[in-house]
């Protein structure tokens, strides 16, 4: 067996289109997932039942079903209930974002709960409302502790973005499939895709390790 | 828009679903047992002081933790058979991929667990004349494993969710059965909803069990490692 990456390099444009697609869905899911996660996390932390119960059901449901099932549900099942069709990008983003929201909600909740009770009391004592104390005192401190966990979530989202290929959204793995089937070079095509992902993600993973070490030293 | 739900076509195909569920459990079980054994080997190699053993283990762990599982699966299913000239069934590809992938994650759990055991335990074992292997096997690992149980359960649950990826290489797991049924009956809404619920019940029960176990371990005074 001779390796021949020339056939992969000939298709650099296709891989670039795929990389752009991967980055697009990654950005969408990162923003939607982490911001929705904060809302749900606050709901999980709230004392009111009207916030706590729906947030808990949301978290349990999306944490305890596979993402691929969610994506396929949004792509094949949801359009039947809606008067319009759903694009592969929309279905995959919905699945990955909601799943990440459920996981990051637990990170936010844990982070907020880890802040010392005295910080709340102090903020309330100088006249801050609950929302002010949360925004100005609690969240900034909690966010620092949550950074490694949230960065890990971002890495997971990047990896999950490959699942969008199951509904034929054009991203790196999908383009790898295309190149492999056109040039009969699955070895080189899939190796190239794996290497690209590794090169993207490895620095991010090392950065998380660094954050974790620094945080352990600071606390 | 009004839509009348009709679960009868899905229920009529319950045998396909049952078979799919069985196959899902088969892949999960295989990958879990192979992954645990291989994970322990990788962890021991990585903890070793010799570069020749620690470096390759570190490489495997990093590669399999930082590349998407679906890319790994495609590589093992489409690329590896050509490379080594063997016939690869979807089940074999899935078993190999998920065994190595979960081994990489289990290795880190094992490593954290072993490192969490107090230095004095080692010293005591060595002082009464045990070799490294004996101390590891009789003193350190039994204590470490107990602390690792919650992290193991979590990984096992993650693994079960990851096995849905095998549907993309046409292995007849539960999700693949759903694809089949929805195409056959033109009832994607009911089919995918039922399958999502089956997964939910299965994984939720496993999560509850894990939480219960964690509580019991916490009560017996064992801290947990992640």
Q: For B87, left (φ over 0), alpha (ψ -120 to 50), or beta?
A: beta
Instruction: Please report the pLDDT score of residue A101 as a whole number.
Output: 97
Q: Look up the domain containing A72 and give its range.
A: 22-172
If contacts are CB pairs under 8 Å, which of residues 165-184 in chain B contact chain A?
165, 167-168, 175, 178-179, 182
Q: Identify whether A216 is part of a domain.
A: no
Distance CA A94, CA A100 (A): 10
Instruction: Please report the pLDDT score of residue A193 as a whole number.
Output: 95
Reply yes or no on whether the pLDDT at B196 is more than 90.
yes
pLDDT, mean of residues A40-50? 92
Q: Identify whether A191 is part of a domain.
A: no
Reply yes or no on whether the pLDDT at B222 is more than 80.
no
Q: For A198, left (φ over 0), alpha (ψ -120 to 50), or beta?
A: alpha
Q: Identify whether A184 is part of a domain.
A: no
* Cβ–Cβ under 8 Å, residues B198 and B21: yes
Residues on chain A touching B195 (C-beta within 8 angstroms): 69
Summarize pLDDT for A187-207 with one digit per residue, the tens. Answer: 999 999 999 999 999 999 999
In the structure, what pLDDT confidence band is assigned to residue A219 with cuts at 50, 70 and 90?
confident
- CB–CB contact B193 A73 (8 Å): yes
Instruction: Please report the pLDDT score of residue B214 as a whole number.
Output: 85
Is CATH 1.10.3720.10 the right assignment for the domain spanning B8-219? Answer: yes
Instruction: Please report the pLDDT score of residue B221 as a whole number.
Output: 64
Q: Identify whether A185 is part of a domain.
A: no
Rounded to a whole number, what is the distance in Å from the CA of A11 to chain B's nearest CA? 18
Rounded to two decimals, the pTM is 0.90
CATH, residue A73:
1.10.3720.10
Q: Identify whether A160 is part of a domain.
A: yes
Reply yes or no on whether the pLDDT at A26 is more than 60.
yes
Total domain count, chain A: 1
Distance CA A72, CA B133 (A): 49
Distance CA B63, CA A194 (A): 9
* Cβ–Cβ under 8 Å, residues B138 and B125: yes
Domain extent listing, chain B:
8-219
Rounded to a whole number, what is the distance in Å from the CA of B142 to chain A's nearest CA? 27
Summarize pLDDT for A79-126 with one digit per residue, the tens. Answer: 999 988 899 999 999 999 999 999 999 999 999 999 999 999 999 999
- CB–CB contact A205 B207 (8 Å): no
Using a pLDDT cut of 70, give the percent of chain A over it.
99
In the structure, what pLDDT confidence band is assigned to residue B42 with cuts at 50, 70 and 90?
very high
* Straight-line distance from the first to the last Cα atom of chain B, in angstroms, rounded to the nearest whole number: 48
Reply yes or no on whether the pLDDT at B155 is more than 70.
yes
Instruction: Please report the pLDDT score of residue B140 as a whole number.
Output: 92
Residues on chain B touching A165 (C-beta within 8 angstroms): 70, 168
What value of ipTM does the predicted structure carry?
0.89
Task: Report the run of H or E that residue A157 belongs to, with start and end.
Answer: helix A139-160
Reply yes or no on whether the pLDDT at B223 is more than 60.
no
Summarize pLDDT for A147-189 with one digit per residue, the tens. Answer: 999 999 999 999 999 999 999 999 999 999 999 999 888 999 9
Instruction: Please report the pLDDT score of residue A126 as a whole number.
Output: 94
Instruction: Please report the pLDDT score of residue B168 as a whole number.
Output: 93
Distance CA A4, CA A188 (A): 7
Q: Which site among A7, A63, A69, A99 would you substitute to test the B interface, given the most B Cβ atoms closer than 10 Å to its Cβ?
A: A69
Nearest alpha carbon to residue B166 among B50, B70, B29 = B70
CB-closest option in A83, A158, A190 to B78: A190
- CB under 8 Å to A179, separation ≥6 — which residues? A7, A8, A11, A14, A15, A185, A189
State the burial class of residue B41 (Cβ atoms within 10 Å of its Cβ: 0-12, 13-18, 19+).
middle
Residues on chain B touching A65 (C-beta within 8 angstroms): 161, 196, 199-200, 203
- CB–CB contact B82 A83 (8 Å): no
CB neighbours (10 Å) of residue A139? Answer: 18
* Residue B116 contacts A, CB cutoff 8 Å: no
Distance CA A89, CA A168 (A): 9
Task: Report the run of H or E that residue A8 belongs to, with start and end.
Answer: helix A6-9
């Amino acid at each position: 067996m001779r390796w021949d990456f020339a056939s992969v390099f000939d298709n650099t444009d296709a891989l670039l289109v795929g990389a752009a697609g991967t980055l697009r869905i990654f950005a969408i899911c990162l923003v939607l997932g982490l911001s929705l996660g904060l809302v749900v996390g606050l709901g999980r932390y709230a004392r009111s039942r009207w916030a706590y119960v729906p947030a808990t059901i949301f978290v349990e449901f999306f944490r305890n079903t596979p993402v691929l099932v969610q994506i396929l549900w949004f792509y094949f099942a949801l359009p039947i209930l809606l008067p319009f069709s759903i694009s592969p990008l929309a279905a995959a983003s919905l699945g990955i974002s909601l799943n990440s929201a459920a996981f990051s909600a637990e990170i936010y909740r844990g982070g907020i709960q880890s802040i010392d009770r005295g910080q709340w009391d102090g903020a309330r004592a100088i006249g801050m409302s609950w929302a002010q104390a949360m925004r100005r005192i609690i969240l900034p401190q909690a966010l620092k502790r949550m950074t490694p966990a949230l960065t890990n979530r971002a890495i997971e989202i990047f990896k999950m973005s490959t699942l969008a290929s199951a509904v034929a959204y054009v991203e790196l793995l999908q383009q790898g499939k295309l190149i492999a089937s056109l040039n009969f070079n699955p070895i080189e095509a899939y190796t190239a895709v794996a290497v690209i992902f590794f090169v993207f993600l490895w620095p991010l993973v090392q950065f998380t390790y660094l954050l974790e070490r620094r945080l352990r030293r600071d606390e | 828009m009004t839509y009348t739900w009709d679960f009868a076509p899905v229920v009529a195909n319950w045998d396909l679903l049952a078979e799919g569920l069985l196959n899902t459990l088969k892949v999960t079980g295989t990958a879990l047992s192979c992954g645990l054994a291989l994970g322990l080997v990788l962890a021991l190699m990585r903890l070793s002081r010799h570069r020749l053993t620690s470096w390759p283990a570190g490489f495997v762990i990093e590669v399999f933790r930082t590349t998407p599982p679906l890319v790994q699966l495609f590589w093992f299913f489409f690329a590896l058979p050509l490379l080594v000239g063997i016939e690869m069934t979807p089940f074999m590809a899935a078993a190999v991929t998920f065994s190595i992938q979960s081994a990489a994650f289990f290795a880190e759990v094992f490593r954290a667990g072993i490192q969490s055991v107090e230095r004095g335990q080692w010293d005591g074992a060595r002082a009464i004349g045990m070799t490294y292997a004996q101390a590891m096997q009789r003193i350190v690992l039994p204590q470490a494993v107990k602390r690792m149980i919650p992290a193991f359960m979590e990984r096992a649950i993650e693994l079960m969710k990851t096995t849905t990826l095998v549907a993309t290489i046409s292995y007849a797991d539960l999700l693949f059965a759903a694809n089949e049924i929805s195409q056959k009956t033109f009832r994607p809404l009911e089919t995918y909803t039922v399958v999502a619920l089956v997964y939910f019940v299965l994984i939720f029960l496993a999560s509850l069990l894990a939480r219960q176990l964690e509580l019991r371990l916490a009560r017996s005074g064992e801290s947990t490692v992640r």
